[in-house]
């Protein structure tokens, strides 16, 4: 009994500590970058605001996630626009349609960081070019072209 109990504690401790070691910085008190003077911030806010999308409120979070996870800064906002019209059709704070829309996030900010983390670190997405990453995200033949079109609407490629 004692051995069974102690092995369960070790497994439990491992499960509790694992998410902190490999998960995004959701809920952590890490200083965030100041995007107030970043021209990308106003570009994203303007894009979403013109279309009446609630995601305009998360423009700085999109930039933070892109910078944290070395993603094109237009990618996450574009996916959110294609999947939920920038939050208009989002359920459970899932503005990305993650897990066929079934995923639940504690906030849109948590969802942005979670999806950014997955796109940068999951073996399914990591080290893929944009077309391959988008084909993995959604295998629909037109999906990559649609997301890339939104990316160009936000800002021309750099």
Asked if the structure places residue 4 within a domain, the reply is no
Asked if the structure places residue 150 within a domain, the reply is yes
Q: What is the DSSP letter of 94?
A: B
Range of the domain at 116: 38-154
Least confident of 5-9, 17-21, 47-51, 96-100: 17-21
Asked if the structure places residue 21 within a domain, the reply is no
The residue-averaged pLDDT of 107-115 equals 96
Arithmetic mean of pLDDT over the chain: 85
pLDDT digits (tens, 9 = 90+) for 27-47: 544 546 788 889 999 999 999
Token pair for 96:
């990305």
Asked if the structure places residue 1 within a domain, the reply is no
Asked if the structure places residue 25 within a domain, the reply is no
Q: Is the pLDDT higher at 18 or at 42?
A: 42
Q: How many CB atoms lie within 10 A of CB 53?
A: 20
pLDDT at 6 (0 to 100): 47
Q: How confident is the model at residue 80 (pLDDT cuts 50, 70, 90)?
A: very high
Place of tokens 């670190």: 121
The residue-averaged pLDDT of 17-24 equals 41
pLDDT digits (tens, 9 = 90+) for 121-155: 999 999 999 999 999 999 999 999 999 999 999 99
Asked if the structure places residue 114 within a domain, the reply is yes
75 neighbors 66 (Cβ within 8 angstroms): yes
Asked if the structure places residue 27 within a domain, the reply is no
CATH of the domain at 110: 1.10.530.10
Asked if the structure places residue 143 within a domain, the reply is yes
Q: How confident is the model at residue 25 (pLDDT cuts 50, 70, 90)?
A: low
User: How many domains are contained in the chain?
Assistant: 1
pLDDT at 35 (0 to 100): 85
């Amino acid at each position: 009994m004692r051995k069974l109990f102690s092995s369960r504690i070790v497994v439990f401790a491992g499960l509790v500590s694992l998410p902190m070691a490999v998960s995004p910085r959701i809920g952590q008190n890490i200083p965030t970058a100041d995007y107030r003077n970043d021209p990308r911030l106003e570009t994203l806010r303007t894009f979403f605001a013109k279309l009446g999308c609630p995601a305009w409120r998360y423009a700085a979070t999109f930039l933070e996630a892109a910078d944290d996870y070395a993603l094109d800064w237009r990618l996450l906002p574009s996916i959110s626009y294609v999947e939920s019209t920038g939050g208009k059709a989002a359920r459970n704070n899932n503005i990305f349609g993650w897990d066929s829309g079934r995923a639940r996030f504690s906030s849109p900010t948590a969802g942005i960081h979670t999806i950014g983390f997955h796109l940068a670190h999951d073996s399914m997405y990591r080290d893929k070019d944009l077309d391959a990453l988008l084909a993995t995200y959604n295998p629909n033949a037109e999906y990559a072209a649609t997301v890339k079109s939104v990316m160009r609407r936000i800002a021309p490629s750099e």
